[in-house]
Every structure is written in structure tokens, then in C-alpha cells.
Amino acid sequence: LESVIRAVGGENFPRLAIGIGRPAYKSDVVRYVLGDPSPQDAAVLADAVDRAAQILLRILKEPLSRVIGEVNRRQSTHDHTEP
């Protein structure tokens, strides 16, 4: 990310983040982030990458602000409905 910031001359650019959750214990962060995901986590990650690809394709065709607004609204609703 630092090389992108240097290349574009600052941090003012759109980003698409894919979250991976958190490990059960703080001491497991490095293994959780850098290790191989479980089969269940791998499936969730693959789905997230597919959704991200769909969002990026929309950004190429539609105004960025519209896509970001819709994605953020949908994510906010999703976050509040999940346990």
C-alpha cells in the first residue's frame, strides 16, 4: 500500500477492502493472517473475492460514488442483521 500511496502522491484514492475477520485469540493473529485458511474460511474468502470483482466491474461502468454508496448501504444493512 505504501508504494501505491507514493505512486499516486497521497492517500486520497478509493480502496476496496476485503475483511478476513479475526482469530479467536490475539496471539494467533500472524498465523491467522498468513496461514492457510480452513476449507470453510477459504470458501468465504472466495465468495468475497467474487463480490469484489463484481464491484470493480461496476466501477468501470458506473459512477464511483453510486457504486460505493450502494455497496456501503448494503454492507451496513448486512452488518446489522448478522448475529
Give the model's pLDDT for residue 2: 93
DSSP-derived secondary structure letter, 9: T
For residues 23 and 29, the answer to whether their CB atoms sit within 8 Å is yes
For residues 67 and 58, the answer to whether their CB atoms sit within 8 Å is yes
Q: How far is 34 from 8, CA to CA, in rounded Å?
A: 28
Give the model's pLDDT for residue 79: 58
pLDDT tens column, 24-53:
888 889 988 899 988 998 999 999 999 999
pLDDT tens column, 5-24:
999 999 998 888 887 888 88
First to last CA, the chain: 32
Give the model's pLDDT for residue 9: 94
Record the pTM. 0.68
